Amino acid sequence: MSPGATGPRILLRQLREVMAGSGSAQQRLDQVTGIIAANMVAEVCSIYLLRPGEILELYATKGLKPEAVHRTRLRLGEGIVGDIAAHSRPLSLRDAQSHPQFAYRPETGEEIFQSMLGVPILRGGRVIGVLAVQNRTARDYTEDEAEALQTIAMVLAELVTSAELIRAEELVELDGNATLPQRWEGLPLADGLASGVAVLHEPPVEVRTHIAENPLEERRRLDVALTELKASIDALLTETDALPGHEHRDVLETYRLLAEDRGWVRRLRDGIDSGLTAEAAVDRARIESRQRLGASANAYLRERVQDLDDLSNRLLRHLTGAQVRRRLPKGAILIARTLGPAELLDYDRNRLRGLLLEEGTPTSHVVLIAKALDLPVIGRLSGLNRIRERDPLIVDGSSGAVYLRPGEDAYQAYQEAVATQTQLRQAFAEVLQQPSVTADGVSVSLQMNAGLLIDLPRLRETGADGIGLFRTELQFMVRTDFPDTAAQQEIYARVLEAANGKPVVFRTLDIGADKILPYMEQSSAPETNPALGWRALRVGLDRPAILRNQLRAMLLAAAGRDLAVMFPMVAELAEYEEAKGLLWRELERLEHRGIAAPRSVKVGVMLEVPALIWQLAALLPKVDFVSVGTNDLIQYLYAADRDNPRLVGRYDPLSPGFLSLMRTVVRRCDTAGVTVSVCGDMAGRPLEALALIGLGYRTLSLAAAAIGPIKFLVRRMNCLQVTDYVTTLLDHSGRSVRDELRHFAQDHGLAI
């Protein structure tokens, strides 16, 4: 049920009147707990506030023993209250004492209370406390009650800080010495080197007034702000038309759809109807979305939290009149916890040099935009609160290293790295349009991995022989619904046109694991190990309509041209044959209807499941090509999750065992006359590429940025010498032959 008979609007006014009234701050807080308990029909209402040292202290209560106030303390993460604060999420418990996080404090007398509903108290996006109600009997708190308590907690946050129950300085996190040089590493999201000064991203607009006096006026203000918000997104779409590629436009179109989402707008209006100002209603909807989506196991939905945060903050700026666009100093390195794509585009692109994120993933919308702007990006950086405005920074987007307030030695190393990079880029650029042939005349085909239309101009720039892997799922991930056959056909046709006769290998949808489509129905039970679960071809075979639509679009797009289709994560020959059968049925369907078909169709598999290696004898006569996906093959072979930081570097692809397996594959394919390539990250790293060529691989598909360095290496190596040396390493007894290969490269003047 909703808060008591007095109604939510009157309750909020009561709270404000009490906190603005006479008496000490503690007395007023005690009154507040009584009002909340009465309106929530609860026998206990308690307020815990976060103190220095990450300690939650009981500040006021109605229903627990009074002597527990300021005496009961819980560490962050300890007990149910600590768990609510640590994860910034509400908890509704019918039987709180059976919860594994329950921590009994005898001085409170809470053992007689069974059910509990608790919500975090947030200020500026940071948890400053917990508000909880309890009842003696087992009680299922409704969703309306949980939302009502969250609204009360929002107002309480304003009242707590305005009454100075928590000193302002306690709301600021301090960490470490603020003057010494520091270095730390994050996750590289976009390559590049940059030096500049820190600019702290605009903090969320602070909501100062929560309780509305005139709901009709608040509704009018909200409608005006929503209209202005949509107009500003349209203006961004116009401004960015000149950027290369089309992904930024796809992102902003999706962004505009979010702004028009009826469910989101309805939640905003419901907030106003409950007695909140328009600003507070936006803030409440943002908190609810963050709690609902941020805890999701779905990676795509977690990334959408950033977009919704961005959208909410922009709407708040329109409501409050706060400045949207900010002037940057030259050489600005933008610092943010998270960032939405439109927020990044708000900044002056001529002055921006790099981006550092506390969160961030390679496929997030903001990273796609940053790549279009040619900005180095590093994510998963903890401790960004150490950085002050205008602090000098060096950012290495290739390694993920960040230097805060760097010393002279770091600056010197940076200048040398820039000089070396400039020289190497020039050397790489000089060979891009030259043949990829070793010094002793062996041709090595270098092809490009792609997945977005923004990648296509790089095909000509890099001199790549073709696209050895086009990841079709990325086009699905930047949309809010399944693209129909016509939309897919248009995308694939544009890829083939950009290739201008060079070969293109389309990989069918590799969704699942960390690549989730939010608009696709998921199993109600989350997968324990999604990397080994329902993904890639398994999804396509279980949902044949999805796979058939994609195959049909590819066939239509390739009319009169050559088409190559590759199926991912094939574990059994029967899976490949079933998928190939769907392809042939779609081809026969076109021919039966007299629709133009491709000039030729080649079909292949990605070899990434080790089980397929023992089926090569039966498989190879039935495929036109094989592409080894080393990223998944390595993790499946060693049973080592490649996203687990504890296992990074534990198993080296340059181990004798893995290299022997790779030699077996290439020899079996060569004997069968089947083209074989490598399309994993291994192909794009010079030392690993050297080993692959020595093993006999003559086709590598790699990121566009890696083609120059690998071609530079190929043109200077003697293939026979490399082959002879790599063969001697296969009997090595160590865990890796990386050092041996590096010494060989240095001895022969090869750039690694």
Question: How does pLDDT run across 234-250, given as a tens digit for each residue?
Answer: 877 776 665 555 555 66
Are residues 266 and 285 in contact, defined by beta-carbon separation less than 8 angstroms?
Answer: no
Within 8 A by CB and 6+ apart from 327, the residues are 348
What pLDDT, on a 0 to 100 scale, did the predictor assign at position 603?
97
Look at residues 388, 278, 375 and name the one whose alpha carbon lies nearest to residue 331: 375
The pLDDT-based confidence of 3 (bands split at 50, 70, 90) is very low
Tell me the C-alpha to C-alpha distance, in Å, between residue 609 and each of 350, 498, 577.
45, 32, 16
What pLDDT, on a 0 to 100 scale, did the predictor assign at position 332?
92
Please indicate whether the domains covering 182-408 and 437-451+630-678+680-752 agree at the CATH topology level.
no
Report d(CA 11, CA 22) in Å as an integer. Answer: 19
What is the distance of C-alpha 209 from the center of its chain?
33
Tell me 559's DSSP state.
B
Does the pLDDT at position 316 exceed 80?
Answer: yes
β-pair type (401-404, 332-336): unpaired
Does the pLDDT at position 7 exceed 80?
Answer: no
**CB atoms closer than 10 angstroms to residue 740:** 16
What is the distance of C-alpha 438 from the center of its chain?
39
Residue 471 bridge partners (DSSP): 507
β-pair type (675-678, 504-507): unpaired
What pLDDT, on a 0 to 100 scale, did the predictor assign at position 670?
96
What pLDDT, on a 0 to 100 scale, did the predictor assign at position 178?
40
Burial zone of 12 (CB within 10 Å; 0-12 exposed, 13-18 middle, 19+ buried): buried
Residue 333 bridge partners (DSSP): 198, 354
Report d(CA 724, CA 730) in Å as an integer. Answer: 11
- For the chain, the domains span 8-171, 182-408, 437-451+630-678+680-752, 466-624
Burial zone of 509 (CB within 10 Å; 0-12 exposed, 13-18 middle, 19+ buried): buried
HSE-CB of 458 using CA atoms within 13 angstroms:
21
Within 8 A by CB and 6+ apart from 124, the residues are 171, 203, 204, 206
Written as six digits, the tokens of 417 are 């790295």
What pLDDT, on a 0 to 100 scale, did the predictor assign at position 212?
82
Mean pLDDT of 9-21: 77
What pLDDT, on a 0 to 100 scale, did the predictor assign at position 513?
58
Tell me 59's DSSP state.
E
From 364-373, 512-521, 674-683, 734-743, the region with the lowest mean pLDDT: 512-521
What pLDDT, on a 0 to 100 scale, did the predictor assign at position 302?
58
Report d(CA 663, CA 668) in Å as an integer. Answer: 9
What percent of the chain is modeled with pLDDT above 90?
Answer: 39
Higher-scoring residue by pLDDT: 645, 499 = 499
Look at residues 167, 173, 102 and name the one whose alpha carbon lies nearest to residue 134: 102
Does the pLDDT at position 585 exceed 90?
Answer: yes
Question: How does pLDDT run across 501-552, given as a tens digit for each residue?
Answer: 999 999 998 876 555 665 566 554 566 676 678 888 898 888 899 999 999 9
Q: What is the strand order of the sheet 126-135 is part of?
A: 73-75, 55-62, 44-51, 126-135, 115-123, 91-93
Look at residues 677, 559, 541 and name the one whose alpha carbon lies nearest to residue 608: 677
Terminal alpha carbon distance of the chain: 67
Does the pLDDT at position 330 exceed 80?
Answer: yes
- Most confident listed range (9-13, 447-451, 518-522): 447-451
Look at residues 664, 608, 666, 677 and name the one whose alpha carbon lies nearest to residue 636: 608
Instruction: Please report, as a single letter, which amino acid is at residue 605.
Output: V
**CATH architecture classification, 8-171:** 2-Layer Sandwich (3.30)
Written as six digits, the tokens of 624 are 């036109």
CATH topology of domain 182-408: Glucose Oxidase; domain 1 (3.50.30)
CATH topology of domain 437-451+630-678+680-752: TIM Barrel (3.20.20)
Does the pLDDT at position 157 exceed 70?
Answer: yes
Look at residues 56, 238, 208 and name the one whose alpha carbon lies nearest to residue 131: 56
Written as six digits, the tokens of 410 are 């770091």
Residue 395 bridge partners (DSSP): 194, 402
Map residue 515 onto helix, strand or coil: strand
What pLDDT, on a 0 to 100 scale, did the predictor assign at position 300?
54
What pLDDT, on a 0 to 100 scale, did the predictor assign at position 176?
39
Q: Which residues are catalytic?
A: 365, 679
Residue 352 bridge partners (DSSP): 332
What pLDDT, on a 0 to 100 scale, did the predictor assign at position 169?
45
Within 8 A by CB and 6+ apart from 524, the residues are none
Q: Put residue 513 in one of left, alpha, beta given phi > 0 → left and psi -120 to 50 → alpha.
A: left
Are residues 131 and 152 in contact, defined by beta-carbon separation less than 8 angstroms?
Answer: yes
Does the pLDDT at position 120 exceed 60?
Answer: yes
What would the DSSP string read from start to end of 391-435? -EEEEETTTTEEEES--HHHHHHHHHHHHHHHHHHHHHHHHTTS-
What would the DSSP string read from start to end of 287-324? HHHHHHHHT-S-HHHHHHHHHHHHHHHHHHHHHHT---
Mean pLDDT of 601-627: 96
To 10 degrees, the CA torsion angle through 436, 440, 442, 447? -20
Q: How many residues does the chain have?
A: 752
Question: How does pLDDT run across 430-447, given as a tens digit for each residue?
Answer: 788 899 999 999 999 999
The pLDDT-based confidence of 385 (bands split at 50, 70, 90) is low
Are residues 207 and 316 in contact, defined by beta-carbon separation less than 8 angstroms?
Answer: yes
Burial zone of 699 (CB within 10 Å; 0-12 exposed, 13-18 middle, 19+ buried): buried
Are residues 621 and 642 in contact, defined by beta-carbon separation less than 8 angstroms?
Answer: no
User: pTM of whole model > 0.85?
Assistant: no
What pLDDT, on a 0 to 100 scale, did the predictor assign at position 174?
38
Does the pLDDT at position 648 exceed 60?
Answer: no
Task: Specify the CATH number of the domain 466-624.
Answer: 3.20.20.60
Q: Where are the beta strands (DSSP E) in 159-192?
A: 182-185, 187-190
Report d(CA 671, CA 27) in Å as an integer. Answer: 86
Tell me the C-alpha to C-alpha distance, in Å, between residue 67 and each of 24, 46, 82, 132, 153.
18, 13, 20, 18, 24
Handedness of CA 164, 167, 169, 175 (dihedral sign): negative
Are residues 568 and 507 in contact, defined by beta-carbon separation less than 8 angstroms?
Answer: yes
Question: How does pLDDT run across 158-206, given as a tens digit for each residue?
Answer: 777 665 555 544 444 434 334 456 788 888 888 788 889 998 886 667 7
Within 8 A by CB and 6+ apart from 288, the residues are 147, 150, 267
Within 8 A by CB and 6+ apart from 95, the residues are 114, 115, 138
What would the DSSP string read from start to end of 64-85? S-GGGTTT-EEETTSHHHHHHH
What would the DSSP string read from start to end of 443-480? B-EEEEEE-SGGGTHHHHHHT-S-EEEEETHHHHHTSS
Average pLDDT, the chain: 83
Report d(CA 733, CA 726) in Å as an integer. Answer: 14
Higher-scoring residue by pLDDT: 177, 42 = 42
